Chains A and B, each alone.
Chain A
């Protein structure tokens, strides 16, 4: 089983749509969780951290279910500028390395 698994993509949605990405991780000892965004041929950048209580940043909502080892990202009212690859990321147990999922590509069209 891969350490971090994500929904296969791509997701093609119209502007204004709501889209959800899911991710599972294998190491129950993981303590920190993130969503990174990567634009085409660019470096990954932190989108948001994911907290046990769930957290929201504008149109973006992240949820964590430790019991199921499941992480989600919800994007509401999609914009053209949201088109990118979204990477689910988990710390290794020591907290010294990030373990990335394969990424899910989102394409928002007008």
Chain B
């Protein structure tokens, strides 16, 4: 079975641009979460979507937005990119909104902002 898939795997943008990252969860999983991992740090929670609604938001500015589609895939959008947005963006899926077990991560989208 396919795991969590993310695209693109790598991308380079310049300051001020916007970016869209995509994620497909494991089949049957209804919850998708997004995490940002800056080099040398642990992942930091950005959003959780469950049944197409935002269910949780971390401490990120409004430049960050996301949505979940009827097929449970998800997009993360970041506007007005800053150098500090350079990071690995991880998508994770789980069966339910509340995690009682493992959270499954994709391999991530590595964003470089120049």
Give the B-binding residues of A (Cβ under 8 A).
Answer: 4, 32, 42-46, 49, 87, 89, 91-92, 94-103
B33 touches A (CB below 8 Å): yes
Bound-complex Cα distance A32 to B35 (A) = 19
In this complex, the member of A45, A49, A96 whose beta carbon has the largest number of chain B beta carbons within 10 angstroms is A96
Q: Of the 9-residue stretches B13-21, B71-79, B100-108, which lies at the interface with chain A?
A: B100-108
Q: Could you write out 8 A-B pairs with CB less than 8 Å apart?
A: A43-B108, A46-B102, A87-B43, A96-B48, A96-B55, A96-B56, A98-B35, A102-B42
In-complex Cβ contact of B98 among A44, A96, A103 (8 A): A96
How big is the B interface, by class? 20 to 34
Bound-complex Cα distance A84 to B1 (A) = 26
Given contacts A97-B33, A101-B42, contact A43 B106 (CB under 8 A): yes
In this complex, the member of A45, A89, A94, A97 whose beta carbon has the largest number of chain B beta carbons within 10 angstroms is A97
Residues of B within 8 A of A99 (CB): 45
Bound-complex Cα distance A95 to B33 (A) = 13
Give the A-binding residues of B (Cβ under 8 A).
Answer: 33, 35, 40-45, 48, 55-56, 58, 90, 97-103, 105-108
Bound-complex Cα distance A96 to B101 (A) = 11
Expressed in whole angstroms, the minimum distance between the Cβ of A108 and any Cβ of chain B is 20
In-complex Cβ contact of B56 among A44, A89, A94 (8 A): A94
Bound-complex Cα distance A9 to B25 (A) = 33
Residues of B within 8 A of A43 (CB): 90, 105-108
